[in-house]
Amino acid sequence: MSLTDILQRATPPEDARATMEFEKMRLELSWRYFDFHARQRTQLFHFFVILSPFVFGGCFYLLKERSQLGGLPGIIAPCAGALLVIVFFGLDRRNRQMIEIAEEALMLLEQHLLFASFRTIGSAFPGPMTKEHEVNCKRRFAKCRGHTFLISLVYLLAFALFLALSLYAFLIESGHLLLTS
């Protein structure tokens, strides 16, 4: 039996409690969904920030030791690093999409349940997530100041550095760039 069937069959004292429990469940589910994906996105970015310097260091080591290891590893390793950035960026995009879905659900719950117009306390305040969304949309350069833009900028910068390092290694290996020891 579904929850809506239970709500329809409830008698007057129980139907209000059942509806309230149902709304609590909706709020709890939406919040947990939001919290899970927001934490996952933060952890993913932290892992990227910790991992990237090691990959860069490995690429520079391969460039330094090209006389013993050959030039090909110094070209392939930065390309692998750039591919790693693409993977992290894709995972970040997916997490952001999941967060946006949860934010929409939470804002709807705020507007229709928690801070609805029938409640006197909510008439002046639309809810924290709704208010934050309204304020951020009015700001100048709102997209450039958000976490999504700044995190994407870090990924783009790392990608460009890995490609530049790969090009540098290729130019050294092909003889177009001579280094003195």
pLDDT over 50 at 122, yes or no: no
Please tell me the predicted confidence (pLDDT) of residue 86. Answer: 97
pLDDT over 80 at 114, yes or no: no
Alpha-carbon gap, residue 65 to 47, rounded angstroms: 27
CB 168 within 8 Å of CB 177 = yes
Question: What confidence tens digit (pLDDT) does each residue in 3-33 have?
Answer: 556 556 666 666 677 777 888 888 888 899 9
Please tell me the predicted confidence (pLDDT) of residue 126. Answer: 73
CB 135 within 8 Å of CB 141 = no
* Domain residue ranges of the chain, discontinuous segments joined by +: 12-174
Highest mean pLDDT among 26-30, 83-87, 104-108, 119-123: 83-87
Average pLDDT, the chain: 84
pLDDT tier at 117, thresholds 50, 70, 90? low
Question: What confidence tens digit (pLDDT) does each residue in 126-159 have?
Answer: 777 777 777 777 777 766 777 888 999 999 999 9
CB burial readout 121-157, b (16+ within 10 A) else e:
ebeeebbebbeeeeeeeeeeeeeeeeeeeebeebbee
Question: What confidence tens digit (pLDDT) does each residue in 37-82 have?
Answer: 999 999 999 999 999 999 999 999 998 888 788 889 989 999 999 9
Alpha-carbon gap, residue 9 to 4, rounded angstroms: 9
pLDDT: which is higher, 5 or 106:
106
CB 143 within 8 Å of CB 120 = no
Nearest to 147 by CA among 102, 155, 30: 155
Please tell me the predicted confidence (pLDDT) of residue 96. Answer: 93
